[in-house]
Amino acid sequence: MNNTSLSVLPPMPHPTPTTEPFWQGLAQEKLMLQQCGDCNQWVFYPRTHCSHCLSPNLEWQQVSGEGEIYSFTIARRPTAPPFAGMEPQYIAVVQLQEGVRMNTIIANATESDLKVGVKVKPCFVHTPDAQTLLYFELT
């Protein structure tokens, strides 16, 4: 289904000073991730300190966003009242090739497309609120 038209508007993220570069990147259709300058590991969600070694030396890097579906579900009842009208919701956790995982929605797909391990790429969804959400679609 094409679930990027957003006839129902989901609750929008409210960026913080720490997470702002991530959301600004999405607005420009770039996926920005933090990488630790000390242990070189990738960090998501954005933080002030590395979730692997607690170093404060995190640097923003642009990544391709290629990854795969780690798991998914098809929510046939709205997961909360603000999502009423969006069902069935194709909710997924995607694992990027950098190893980090993130919540998302799989766009432009049918039910049978949803499988663990399927390759996906970013799909930037610009909302009427001038926010950009990071959905994914099959490659």
16 part of the interface to other proteins, by CB under 8 A = yes
Q: What is the nearest approach in angstroms of other proteins to the Cβ of residue 15?
A: 7
| Spatial distance between the Cα atoms of 96 and 134, rounded to a whole number of angstroms | 13
Q: Using the rule CB under 8 A, which residue among 104, 107, 120, 122 binds other proteins?
A: 104
32 part of the interface to other proteins, by CB under 8 A = no
Residue type, 51: S
Query: Could you identify the residue written with the tokens 């094409």?
Result: 2
What track of x and - describes contact with other proteins for positions 106 through 135 (by CB under 8 A)?
A: ---------xxx---------------x--
- Residue 125, strand partner residues: 133
| Spatial distance between the Cα atoms of 77 and 83, rounded to a whole number of angstroms | 9
Q: What is the nearest approach in angstroms of other proteins to the Cβ of residue 130?
A: 14
Residue type, 82: P
